[in-house]
Amino acid sequence: MLEVCGLNSYYGDSHALFDISLRIGAGARVALMGRNGAGKSTFVKSIMNAEPQIAGEIRWEGVDLGKASSTDRARAGFCFVPEDRRILGSLTTLENLRMAWEGTPRARRTRTPEEVLAQYPMLVPIRDRLGGVLSGGQQQLLALARAAIQNPTLLLLDEPTEGLAPKIVEELAADVRRICDETGCALILCEQSVWFSRQCTDEVHVLDSGQLVFSGSWAEFDADPSIRSRHLSVA
């Protein structure tokens, strides 16, 4: 269980998130939605202690993470797939997976890189292609496979569908669901696509200008069309 209480995040003197509080249960699948600049990426980076300065409490399974480093959080099973994917361009597809496998604690190594690769049919033919020459969709699938190999307890995805073709987006949705089913991990998905978010999650939280403005089920989201028009539509 992830508990966030009174989270405020800053970039220098710039205040980005304001008193965010929410709870994400074990194995829950949650969408965090909002326009560009709403604070979605800042939220997941704050959970990872990756960049912003933060104030407030972040607790995982009842333990206050305090100033635990991003490395410590990764060892606990937090797996962050950033918007820019961070594929290692000088390594092949398979070598990228092997690097992730080598960095995973032995207790969580449940499958080999080759076994994980086999679950991504679009990646199998390009297993020996350098990461730097892959298309955006191929890189995103590789980034997700790299996350899966780490057998995460908490999967954080930041804008995974941005700029991707519809076929890749559909494949990605199926892969996200499969990872969550196989590992039992909790999911925080930062997205602008309502369709994709709905495919992958059961709950939705909406951010606007760094503030949490809605939390509920998809049925509750659908029951109030003003949420989408006020906080998600492009002005």
Instruction: Measure the CA–CA gap between 43 and 232, rounded to whole angstroms.
Output: 17
d(CA 125, CA 109): 24
Fold of 2-231: Rossmann fold (3.40.50)
Here the tokens at position 126 are 């390009």
Query: Hey, which residues does 59 pair with through a beta bridge?
Result: 3, 64
Query: Looking at residue 199, what is its pLDDT?
Result: 97
- Residues near 25 by beta carbon (within 8 Å), at least 6 away in sequence: 1, 186
What pTM does this model have? Answer: 0.94
The predicted structure's pLDDT at residue 233 = 76
> Nearest-CA neighbor of 153 among 66, 63, 27, 62?
27
Mean pLDDT by 10 residues, the chain (235 residues): 96 97 96 96 96 95 93 94 94 97 93 96 96 96 96 96 92 96 96 96 97 97 94 71
Tell me the two tokens of residue 122: 């679009």
Residue 65, φ and ψ in degrees, nearest 5: -75, -20
**Amino acid letter for position 71:** T
DSSP for residue 106: G
Q: State the CB neighbour count (10 A cutoff) for residue 180.
A: 20
